[in-house]
């Protein structure tokens, strides 16, 4: 995973710190659980994958505008 991938997934303050990635979000206390970056529940920056096409969309929607 790269800083670009993290920012695409809503971790807008993420950065590379030496040889490791620092996962951060401006809207919640982001953390990494078993190697998976996670937002707090209800974070407005949280996103997920569209159930129809795989596009990254806001967490409060099931499908993107093309699929749903």
Domain assignment of residue 15, yes or no: yes
Q: Does the model's pTM come out above 0.75? A: yes
Domain assignment of residue 68, yes or no: no
How far apart (Å, rounded) are the C-alpha atoms in residues 68 and 56? 14
- Which two structure tokens, joined as six digits, stand for 64? 């993107």
Structural domain that includes position 13: 3-58
pLDDT > 90: what percent of the chain? 59
The answer to whether 22 and 12 have CB atoms below 8 angstroms apart is no
How far apart (Å, rounded) are the C-alpha atoms in residues 29 and 19? 22
What DSSP character marks residue 13?
T
- Which two structure tokens, joined as six digits, stand for 14? 């993420």
- What is the tally of structural domains in the chain? 1
Note the pLDDT tens digit of each residue in 14-34: 999 888 899 999 999 999 999
Q: What is the pLDDT of residue 39?
A: 95
């Amino acid at each position: 995973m790269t800083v670009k991938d993290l920012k695409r997934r809503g971790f807008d303050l993420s950065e590379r710190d030496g040889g490791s990635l620092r996962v951060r979000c401006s809207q919640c206390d982001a953390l990494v659980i078993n190697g998976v970056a996670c937002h707090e529940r209800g974070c407005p920056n949280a996103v997920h994958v569209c159930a129809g096409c795989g596009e990254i969309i806001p967490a409060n929607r099931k499908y993107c505008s093309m699929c749903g």
